[in-house]
Structure 1
């Protein structure tokens, strides 16, 4: 015992006496930290510093402040935004014939283009003083989502001018002269913008763009002018074939020192009219047969004056920071909106179709194999809507949550893909036969587009989410990196000492919290709510602490090599992502007023999120390159094993049965599917059949009972069966007519389009 006491006293003195601590602890750690500090390129550094830390910071630090999450408020629409949805958006939906757009025109009809321009669909983010709508991120997302339930091509056409592009860049960074010149014409659709960033040699690694602008003097408008000679070759540029103004990202160089000593100025963004001499708008691409405009642009030795740089000459070389900040907001709105729309359509139509479509004498929705997939559709749609709301809320709170939007882009587009695949599996022939009645096919084909653009999902998962989050969200690492990089090494060491002591305390608390919650099943962990969802907050506290512990140990052991261990990095990013998605789900449940009929979905979603988070942690621990550390981590994180399981079969059955009937819960999870008078689409058709059949459910039971009692034959075509039932007095004349009308709607819903020739 005396030896233990002496050891404790020695440790206390070592850490408590500053001079001793600096000599024997801080200085060696400081030297080690400088050695293992991962090298960052200039573009990596700018990406790391761009954007803000928001709710993901709480999740990353091991002890989330759940009250802060609930205090953010909930997203909502202003009266003006709601009126736009009720009027202009509804009118636009009635004008859309997606089959005609994709298969006949390969373009939007002229009247829809004109309506979008006239009504400000391309000006959702432009300030009102320039003639724009100046809508919130949530309204922007909701508008795009509603349009996407009817046409991905139309939704992308609206989405792009309101995402990364000239409108957003000018609003945030443009000179007053640039704003006054361009924004009013963009707001009314007189000018159509596109933004040229990616090309044959630079996709996800957009920072490596080879396109070059060289500072020089040339004649412009009859005068010798200081400007830039540009050469570029861009691909995959949405709206390029119809654009009148081109936003261009390029590497700016000044070999003759005309602007100063810096010869490699860096990535710069400029705005160029497409009718400017030398600008080439090439031919269209064919993005998986979608009809939105996408194509190429190029130019060789195209001269522009310096004041065409977005933000003016003072923004030369600042383009990458501008792009990353705007991209982080755009990818939190646009692509998640498309994914959420896929979820709403899939849930609305699959729950209806599964009730209407019969095989072996019963609706296919009562087969457990179908219910397994349908439960995932319903749960993933709830998750998509929850994440859409939380992410746009963060953007509307005027933060630029770069890690959150990377999470949203990756996971929501992947969930959108999962939803569409399950819907296609269930609706099968209905989904694969293209035609005016097919509401799944085009969205299914478009999924890889969302997954590919604005950063390929594989790289977003393996490099961005954890790579940026581990540094930006950690309360100490970024500050420690800055201290290690200070030119005054004494001052850096002093600052590092203060940070190190805080870091040690932080790491110890998280390790103890993770271990203690694992042993006790998180029963003593804090929770901000009572009722059936309180257990989820407790488990998320445990996983958050485990992630923080895993992060600290990984960075300590692997240092700069961690960013090359992409599989481990991706798994730890998955943990953070699942915590974020789970947070969105719980907040959505609270924001909706804790609706009791939403609980089966919430339970299903939360069981999935916790399982996937724990599985990712378990796999990261198992694959940790240092086996001794792997054993230690397993002891801290899973001392009793991993007991987070997927939802039970009975939960899937219960979820599906509850959703295969008209209900407020079903309306809440499918509200983005716009309804309008005279709608003849397949969505309206299958919904009408679903409602009619549900209203006649007691009559169908009466028929079944008569068949069971041998009053009616077991197998007859429906019209013959109904005639027989009427003749036998099983049903009345009125009931006979109701069932005939219902069967007519049912057949229309399950039939698919056919053509004389293709």
Structure 2
């Protein structure tokens, strides 16, 4: 039984693709083909070897996937739903590659597009869209992951230059990036700075020992007297609303991406349930297995419909940060549960790399933490419901 069999069975019950426009399906199909042919053949090997295949970056750029939601400057200007569909296809193969597209496009490129000067946009965005230049987004710090307001990295003005000191942690792509969007506290508030990674005093060290996201790169960054000209400061960002707006772009992609990983697991569960025989019949003929499959389908279907509704709102310009928190909290949580249930259907084989389920599960645990933990999004929703903030 092939992987397509599980996909066909799922499509017979819930044909999500039929809800997309022709243009949206075009982006989805291109991403699915790229992920299937360029990433999937080596992803288990790459995960095991902790290898990030940077040579694929220009191919992603040539296909138009990098910063695809941005208009102009060499970017595709695609819809939010198209971008979401692309995120789902990449994460269906591995969360690390959706993360790359997200860090490059939703974080680094979005920061420049939203808050940069025309000179900065012209300098950086075309090369980043083409995959010739890689960016990273340096916000999170070692002691303040969920509390950017406690930022200790500082930037002080000295004549026509800024001097940046501090440390960042869990910064995706930093060791392969050409430019870092560094967020720092200034005497006037929170500022963003475009720091070429070959600048003296900038050091990025990949974090080792990860049991998730092993086919991607996350780093510690040290900033020791890093000097950049005033022209490197993002003129449109002066408060935490700047990086938060970029985080919401990344969170949006996760809403779709997590469901891509869930779909991959569900397809495998369907295949296994129909193909494996115990006690004289397929395991899919047992009531407990069918209950598992039905529950997984319901949560996947609801998650995809939620992603689509949020995407349509984003394209209409009516999406709120609270709605993004609903999507991120629900879809990652349910994707993890779908992966865990699939593992139980696979039995002992589910813990081997013959199937991608444990890899998806480990990756999704990391996705659950970054761009806002479950706890943070829960409190965002609680504040919206009660009018009372429970953060402090």
**TM-score (structure 1 length as normaliser):** 0.47
1:104 paired with 2:49, answer: yes
Match runs of 1:528-543 below 5 Å: none
Cα gap change, 1:328/1:159 in structure 2, threshold over 3 Å: closer, same or farther? closer
Number of residues of Structure 1 aligned to a counterpart in Structure 2: 372
The answer to whether the 8 Å contact 2:112/2:120 transfers is yes
2:233 maps to which residue? 309
Match runs of 1:594-609 below 5 Å: none
1:241 maps to which residue? 175
Match runs of 1:6-45 below 5 Å: none
Return the index of the structure with the highest Cα Rg. 1
1: CA distance, partners of 2:338 / 2:219: 29
Question: What's the offset of the Cα at 1:147?
Answer: 1.8
Of the three residues 343, 346, 350, the one matched with 1:431 is 350
The answer to whether the 8 Å contact 2:93/2:261 transfers is no
Question: What's the offset of the Cα at 1:84?
Answer: 4.0
2: CA distance, partners of 1:274 / 1:565: 34
Structure 1 residue runs of 4 or more that deviate by more than 4 Å after TM superposition = none
Deviations 1:262-293 (A, max 9, x none): xxx11111111111222112233444242111
1:18 maps to which residue? none
Question: What's the offset of the Cα at 1:345?
Answer: 1.6
Question: What's the offset of the Cα at 1:387?
Answer: 0.9
1:466 paired with 2:389, answer: no
Of the three residues 57, 72, 77, the one matched with 1:134 is 77
Q: Which range is displaced more, 118-127 or 398-407?
A: 118-127
2:124 maps to which residue? 182
Query: Any stretches of 5+ residues in structure 2 without a counterpart?
Result: 1-17
2:63 maps to which residue? 119
1:193 paired with 2:135, answer: yes
The answer to whether the 8 Å contact 2:66/2:101 transfers is yes
The answer to whether the 8 Å contact 1:266/1:317 transfers is yes
The answer to whether the 8 Å contact 2:58/2:130 transfers is no
3-state SS, counterpart of residue 282 of structure 1: strand
2: CA distance, partners of 1:442 / 1:390: 28
Cα gap change, 1:374/1:356 in structure 2, threshold over 3 Å: closer, same or farther? same
The answer to whether the 8 Å contact 2:43/2:215 transfers is no
2: CA distance, partners of 1:117 / 1:234: 27
RMSD: 2.2
2: CA distance, partners of 1:119 / 1:181: 21
3-state SS, counterpart of residue 339 of structure 2: helix
2:14 maps to which residue? none
Cα gap change, 1:441/1:175 in structure 2, threshold over 3 Å: closer, same or farther? same
The answer to whether the 8 Å contact 1:194/1:237 transfers is yes
The answer to whether the 8 Å contact 1:122/1:162 transfers is yes
The answer to whether the 8 Å contact 1:166/1:271 transfers is no
Deviations 1:158-189 (A, max 9, x none): 232122x2211121221111111111111111
Question: What's the offset of the Cα at 1:402?
Answer: 0.5
1:416 maps to which residue? 335
1:323 maps to which residue? 243
Question: What's the offset of the Cα at 1:316?
Answer: 5.7
1: CA distance, partners of 2:112 / 2:285: 54
Deviations 1:464-490 (A, max 9, x none): 11214544xxxxxxxxxxxxxxxxxxx
The answer to whether the 8 Å contact 1:229/1:301 transfers is yes
1:366 maps to which residue? 285
Match runs of 1:213-612 below 5 Å: 213-217=155-159, 225=160, 227-253=161-187, 265-289=188-212, 290-310=214-234, 312=235, 315=236, 317-318=238-239, 320-332=240-252, 334-434=253-353, 437-461=354-378, 463-471=379-387, 563-564=389-390
2: CA distance, partners of 1:329 / 1:109: 23
Question: What's the offset of the Cα at 1:339?
Answer: 1.6
3-state SS, counterpart of residue 75 of structure 2: coil
Question: What's the offset of the Cα at 1:356?
Answer: 1.2
3-state SS, counterpart of residue 232 of structure 1: strand
Bigger fraction of residues in helix:
1
1: CA distance, partners of 2:329 / 2:119: 37
**TM-score (structure 2 length as normaliser):** 0.88
1: CA distance, partners of 2:347 / 2:33: 29
Match runs of 1:610-629 below 5 Å: none
Question: What's the offset of the Cα at 1:198?
Answer: 0.5
3-state SS, counterpart of residue 241 of structure 1: coil
